[in-house]
Amino acid sequence: MARPGRPALPRDPNHPMIQSYLDMLVSQKGAAQNTVAAYERDLNDFHTFAKQEGFDVVKATPENVKAYMGDLSTRIHVKGQKEGKISERTKARRLSALRQFYMFTISEGKRDSDPTSNIESPKQTRTLPKTLTESEVTHLITTAGKSGTPASKRLVCLLEMLYSSGLRVSELVGLPLSSIGEGSQFVLVAGKGGRERMVPLSEPAQDAINAYLAVRQNFISPDDKGTQAQWLYPSKTSVVGHLTRQRFAQLLKDLSDDAGMPEGKVSPHVLRHAFATHLLKNGADLRVVQKMLGHADIATTQIYTHVIGENLKKTVEEKHPLNKKTGTK
């Protein structure tokens, strides 16, 4: 993003070393397309800054990186209709991307030291993930299934699978038809880093899959050569042949409006959070939830225990009789 007062620069080809790093992420680490795209955006932002300031990214000094981090603090970030300063979380992610990149340049013999090594990561306040109550999830699914049309059955299936399995949205919409196990009792997921995991599906999810499979042909063009038919959620209009995460997000936004929920309350990721939070709330083992979510580090899963703690604290404060204010006689 251009700095305030400066026009945005046209997108240039990646710096050769940045491109080499992105290629390595795919070939050696099996990084997902969305992960590679995120690194590309972050590193190219630094590349743009480097060109403006007259230095090469591979030869950057600690002072160059400090200047870049300072520049980020002056930027105005625009998302939708809202604007504001770039968050500490985004700055920390950009610095992390640079650290990984410079580790790669050192391993390739392009430089001897890491210019980010002595730069502290921006301090972040812990933000708890947004979630939904069990009744809100039920209301969403009920609203989605009211019309009984093929599109309605597909949406119910998407919701039930997401809430039953906790899949990432990109994993869900990109499921091949062959990923559904015998009797729709489980789904085989290829997650981040090429790690496969088998996730069991609830009975409501199994019923929703069977109802959807009966109408799935409605979403495949008559002249399809296999581009669409290979996917669990085919699409006649998508270039990739399956429902995109952007389209699913739009479907959820429309459903949220139909269900009378506040704008921004429902998203694919919020349903993933609801899955994890409700499992833990009902006594599931943390490591089991970690495996189902596909988290490499259990520390990532532990954030949901904080959500439960905050919700419990709120309930006690609102409902416990000793916390209710009483008037004086």
Mean pLDDT, range 320-325, rounded to an integer: 43
Task: Please tell me the predicted confidence (pLDDT) of residue 262.
Answer: 87
Mean per-residue pLDDT of the chain: 82
Return the CATH number of the domain spanning residue range 16-107.
Answer: 1.10.150
Residue 272 bears catalytic tag: yes
From 51, 66, 192, 265, the catalytic residue: 192
Name the pLDDT band for 248 (thresholds 50, 70, 90): very high
Cα–Cα nearest to 190, from 212, 211, 175, 202: 175
pLDDT digits 0-9 by tens, 1-58? 344 444 444 456 789 999 999 999 988 888 878 889 999 999 999 999 999 999 999 9
Other beta carbons within 10 Å of 114: 17
Task: Please tell me the predicted confidence (pLDDT) of residue 318.
Answer: 47
| Cβ atoms 181, 188 nearer than 8 A | yes
Distance CA 326, CA 215 (A): 58
pLDDT digits 0-9 by tens, 153-198? 999 999 999 888 878 888 899 999 999 988 888 888 886 666 788 8
User: Hey, is 187 helix, strand or coil?
Assistant: strand
- Listed in sequence order, the DSSP H helices in 199-244 are 203-213
Work out the percent of the chain whose per-residue pLDDT is above 70: 77
Residue 273 bears catalytic tag: no
Residue 306 bears catalytic tag: no
Does the pLDDT of residue 254 top 90, yes or no?
A: yes
Q: Where in the chain is the domain with CATH 1.10.443.10?
A: 134-317
* Max avg pLDDT among 86-95, 117-126, 183-192, 239-248: 239-248
Distance CA 282, CA 248 (A): 28
Distance CA 60, CA 56 (A): 6
Residue 154 bears catalytic tag: no
Neighbouring C-alpha atoms within 13 Å toward the C-beta of 246 = 5
From 153, 216, 272, 273, the catalytic residue: 272
Which residues are paired to 245 by β-bridges?
none
Residue 21 bears catalytic tag: no
Task: Please tell me the predicted confidence (pLDDT) of residue 5.
Answer: 42
Q: Which fold has domain 134-317?
A: hpI Integrase; Chain A (1.10.443)
From 15, 94, 168, 242, the catalytic residue: 168
Residue 295 bears catalytic tag: yes
**Whether the predicted model's global pTM rises above the 0.75 cut:** no
Write down the residue that tokens 């625009």 correspond to: 78
